[in-house]
């Protein structure tokens, strides 16, 4: 969903915004300007119409698995690494989904995220997850249930990844 007007497609309570979600070829990530603005990768892991979320112990909310790109790291590798680190699950088959443009407060800086879809072939049992310093738990979200302690922009991305 390209947003030529630059108006917000989604906004969270802090004022962070999604300005665009653009489906494109993964190789187009190398054409983003400035390249340094490609900061993170997100994984929309799905099974049976539900999305796997992680509870971030620092931000105290449910969000998509994902993380910052390390120096010289590709968006795909960052997605695989962060998914494993945050869920303890093996690397899923990732399908590049889109590049997401954010405007982040307080300085209104633009940042890009590479969003990947990970259709899982089985539904991992979230109760077997062992919490760590960063992630306190896993849960499945059916896209209907209200999640008061959640990253609104991540949920918006998940909904659009699944065409809702």
Q: What is the pLDDT of residue 50?
A: 96
Q: What is the pLDDT of residue 93?
A: 94
Which helix H or strand E contains 75, and what residues bound it? helix 75-87
C-alpha–C-alpha distance, residues 142 and 47, integer Å? 10
The tens digit of pLDDT for each residue in 29-67 reads 999 988 779 999 999 999 999 999 999 999 999 999 999
Name the DSSP class of 150.
B
pTM: 0.93
- Averaged pLDDT, 87-116: 94
Return the higher-pLDDT residue of 65 and 3.
65
Write out the two tokens for 55.
Answer: 């509870």
For the cut 60, the answer to whether the pLDDT of residue 131 exceeds it is yes
From the list 88, 74, 77, 75, the residue with the least C-alpha distance to 137 is: 88
**164 to 27, 35, 50, 157, 159: CA distances (angstroms):** 26, 30, 12, 10, 5
For the cut 70, the answer to whether the pLDDT of residue 74 exceeds it is yes
Strand partners, 115: 42, 98
Q: What is the pLDDT of residue 36?
A: 79
Which helix H or strand E contains 157, and what residues bound it? helix 152-161
List Cβ neighbours of 104 (8 Å cut-off, separation of 6 or more): 16, 110, 111
Confidence of residue 6 (pLDDT cuts 50, 70, 90): low
Q: What is the pLDDT of residue 14?
A: 93
The tens digit of pLDDT for each residue in 107-129 reads 999 999 999 999 999 998 888 88
Over 5-61, what HEC string results?
A: CCCCCEECCCCCEEEEEECCCHHHHHHCCCHHHEEEEEEEEEECCEEEEEEECCCCE
Confidence of residue 26 (pLDDT cuts 50, 70, 90): very high
Write out the two tokens for 2.
Answer: 């390209």
Q: What is the pLDDT of residue 11?
A: 95
Q: What is the pLDDT of residue 143?
A: 93
Q: What percent of the chain has pLDDT over 70?
A: 96
List, in order of start, the domains of the chain with CATH numbers.
10-161 (3.90.79.10)
C-alpha–C-alpha distance, residues 35 and 123, integer Å? 36
């Amino acid at each position: 969903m390209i947003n030529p007007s630059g108006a917000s497609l989604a906004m969270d309570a802090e004022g962070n915004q999604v300005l665009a979600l653009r489906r494109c070829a993964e190789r187009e990530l190398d054409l983003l300007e400035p390249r340094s603005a490609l900061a993170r990768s997100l994984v929309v892991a799905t099974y049976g119409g539900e999305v796997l979320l992680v509870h971030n112990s620092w931000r105290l909310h449910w969000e998509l698995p994902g993380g910052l790109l390390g120096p010289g790291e590709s968006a795909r590798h960052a997605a695989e690494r962060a998914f494993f680190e945050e869920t303890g699950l093996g690397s899923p088959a990732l399908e590049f989904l889109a590049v997401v443009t954010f405007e982040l407060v307080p300085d209104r800086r633009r940042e890009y995220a590479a969003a990947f879809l990970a259709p899982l072939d089985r539904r991992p049992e979230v109760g077997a997850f062992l919490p760590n310093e960063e992630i306190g738990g896993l849960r499945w979200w059916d896209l209907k249930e209200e999640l008061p302690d959640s990253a609104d922009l991540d949920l918006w991305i998940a909904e659009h990844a699944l065409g809702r």
